[in-house]
Amino acid sequence: MKFACLLADGFEDVEALGSAALLRRAGFEVDFYSVYNKKKVTGAYKTVVTELLPMKELTSNNYDGLFIPGGKAAFTLREEETVKTIVKDFNDKEKWMMAICAAPTVFGMMHLLDNKKYISFPGTEENMGKAIRVNQKAISDGRFITAISAGAIYDFVFEIIKTINGKDVLESFKNKLYY
């Protein structure tokens, strides 16, 4: 299982890097793409990520899902036509759609979460169309997996593992982490 992760300056460091590290530990592949095709991006807390792939080369056919971390970057990304095109392509091909913190608003503003359960950072509800907000740290509804914030990265990754690979695989993974 292979995911593309969209990064732009101001991404939430732990949401992107922590989630990717845990997903990789669980056997998933995660590639980082620079939304603005830069060679490096800087997170909200000054973590610099290099060796990025340019988003202009992102092809959904090479991936099983799309992951968008939150942070200030999410508020910019949700307005970007190039991001919307990528999101639409992944969604149209029925790929896994994952977002945390403010990033679920990318899906919400495109009405992809209408009538689906979700969670996002408090205060982003007005950008979620007809999505159904739940009071959980992480939730899946069909192909969509969302989480509330940086404090929920374990819950987010656990929800991804459980949804895609099942409860037994999740429990095995948790045991190896000593969670």
Q: Where are the domains of the chain?
A: 2-177
Mean pLDDT over residues 7-32, rounded? 98
Task: State the pLDDT at residue 37.
Answer: 97
In tens, the pLDDT along 59-91 reads 999 999 999 999 999 999 999 999 999 999 999
CB count in 10 Å sphere of residue 51: 9
Torsion of CA 150, 135, 83, 159, to 10 degrees: 70
141 vs 167: CA distance, rounded Å: 16
Inter-residue contact 23 to 3 (CB < 8 Å): yes
105 vs 71: CA distance, rounded Å: 11
Task: State the pLDDT at residue 179.
Answer: 78
**Could you tell me which CATH number the domain at 2-177 has?**
3.40.50.880
In tens, the pLDDT along 108-154 reads 999 999 999 999 999 999 999 999 999 999 999 999 999 999 999 99
In the three-class reduction of DSSP (H, G, I as helix; E, B as strand; rest coil), residue 115 is classed as coil
21 vs 18: CA distance, rounded Å: 5
144 vs 138: CA distance, rounded Å: 11
Q: Indicate if the pLDDT at residue 26 is higher than 90.
A: yes
User: For 109, how many CA atoms within 13 A lie in the half-sphere containing its CB?
Assistant: 19
Inter-residue contact 83 to 77 (CB < 8 Å): yes
Q: Do you know the residue count of the chain? A: 179
Inter-residue contact 8 to 34 (CB < 8 Å): yes
